[in-house]
A = this chain, B = another copy of it.
């Protein structure tokens, strides 16, 4: 067994949600070891959080820049860092690590602004280090399966892409840490639901179909009184090559917990994937009975098998899908260690995907501000 990758973390202190997810994800396949952290911008919280995680006191930092500088100099300093802060910190934090050759695993969306996103792309391109964006839903085996089938032509030419991501947890005014920064444009960016979850939906649609978006028309709302960002968004999609589609993101739709769903229809068949039931993929070839492909079951192919851990009927979930992004990152990092390219089948969301996501959010916000006018993607 090769040595575990030494990992640091920025953000993810005691009362955070996604930091804990990243830590479990990093652990599941046993290829990372968390050894350092700047877990909070509040020093006491940073220390307490580091202690709770068993980090050495001298590798528990109050400040990510400090961490980047010192860890880069340590003999066994971190090789990679997970950035799990609110969006507006992503760029500045990532830059510090990238410029010191430390690989970055960053939460989505890439940044809170489009200029930041562009700068981050440059920073990543200028660095020898890897940049991995945790659009975790691309880690689901059945999302990989769908992608593989489309690439193989099982759907023929794609005509229609329907993607939606409704939630209900912000149906009323919410006052907790998670909601607070997500509804603050300074920290989340100009997009509300579209930036928090719509961008996941968009990324997954691109990932699975292989299509590029040409233009969009977005009609976004803030239903909860006083909310400064959208909590519901309806978007018409025109894909390059002629496919059309719709995207719906919502955080005010009661009964929907985390209901990301993707449906794709082509000349030869259809596919349907729902992240809340991620071990299933409906495949509906035109003129044949509907087929329910299960993760690892008959009809489930190599791309899904590569990222599965257990047999069919033994459900994998959100954490395993997330872990797959970490595992893919590990593959790439370990290849780097030896100066090699990662194996060809290693796939993870890149800084370019992140830029596309921020461009998408930006286009939605601009379109909606102009009464849902059509806006071209760059």
The verdict on A290 contacting B288 (CB below 8 Å), with A252-B159, A276-B313, A277-B315 known, is no
* A266 interfacial contact with B, CB 8 Å: yes
Stretch of A36-44, A110-118, A122-130, A230-238 on the interface side = A230-238
Give the contacts of A237-271 with B (CB-CB under 8 A). 238, 244-246, 248, 250, 252-259, 263, 265-270
The verdict on A265 contacting B287 (CB below 8 Å), with A232-B160, A313-B257, A319-B28 known, is no
**How far does the alpha carbon of A252 sit from the alpha carbon of B269 in the complex, in Å?**
10
| Closest chain B CB from A247 CB (angstroms) | 9
The verdict on A267 contacting B171 (CB below 8 Å), with A17-B311, A298-B289, A299-B289 known, is yes
Q: Find A217's partner among B236, B256, B282 (CB 8 Å cutoff).
A: B236
* A292 interfacial contact with B, CB 8 Å: yes
A54-89 CB mask vs B (1 if < 8 Å, else 0) is 100000000000000000000000000000000000
The verdict on A253 contacting B160 (CB below 8 Å), with A1-B52, A267-B171, A374-B371 known, is yes
* A317 interfacial contact with B, CB 8 Å: yes
A285-309 CB mask vs B (1 if < 8 Å, else 0) is 1111111111001110000000001
A136-155 CB mask vs B (1 if < 8 Å, else 0) is 00000000000000000000
**How far does the alpha carbon of A221 sit from the alpha carbon of B237 in the complex, in Å?**
12
Are B223 and A159 within 8 A (Cβ)?
yes
Q: Which residue of chain B is the closest to A257 with respect to CB atoms?
A: B313
Residues on B with C-beta less than 8 A from A292 are 289-292
* A369 interfacial contact with B, CB 8 Å: no
Q: What is the copy number of this chain in the assembly?
A: 4
| Closest chain B CB from A333 CB (angstroms) | 17
Q: Find A314's partner among B246, B258, B286, B315 (CB 8 Å cutoff).
A: B258
Give the contacts of A1-40 with B (CB-CB under 8 A). 1, 4, 17, 20-21, 23-24, 27-30
* A272 interfacial contact with B, CB 8 Å: yes
Give the contacts of A359-375 with B (CB-CB under 8 A). 371-372, 374
Residues on B with C-beta less than 8 A from A4 are 54
**How far does the alpha carbon of A189 sit from the alpha carbon of B21 in the complex, in Å?**
41
Residues on B with C-beta less than 8 A from A309 are 20, 24, 319
Are B313 and A314 within 8 A (Cβ)?
no
| Closest chain B CB from A272 CB (angstroms) | 7
The 8 A-B residue pairs with the shortest CB-CB distance in the complex, in nearest-first order: A255-B284, A258-B313, A257-B313, A317-B317, A1-B54, A289-B299, A315-B317, A255-B270
* 17 cross-chain CB contacts under 8 A: A24-B28, A160-B232, A166-B265, A172-B286, A217-B236, A234-B236, A234-B246, A250-B265, A258-B313, A275-B315, A276-B315, A279-B317, A283-B289, A289-B291, A289-B293, A292-B292, A317-B317
List 5 other contacts, CB 8 Å, given A217-B217, A288-B298, A319-B320: A1-B53, A17-B310, A27-B30, A257-B313, A316-B317
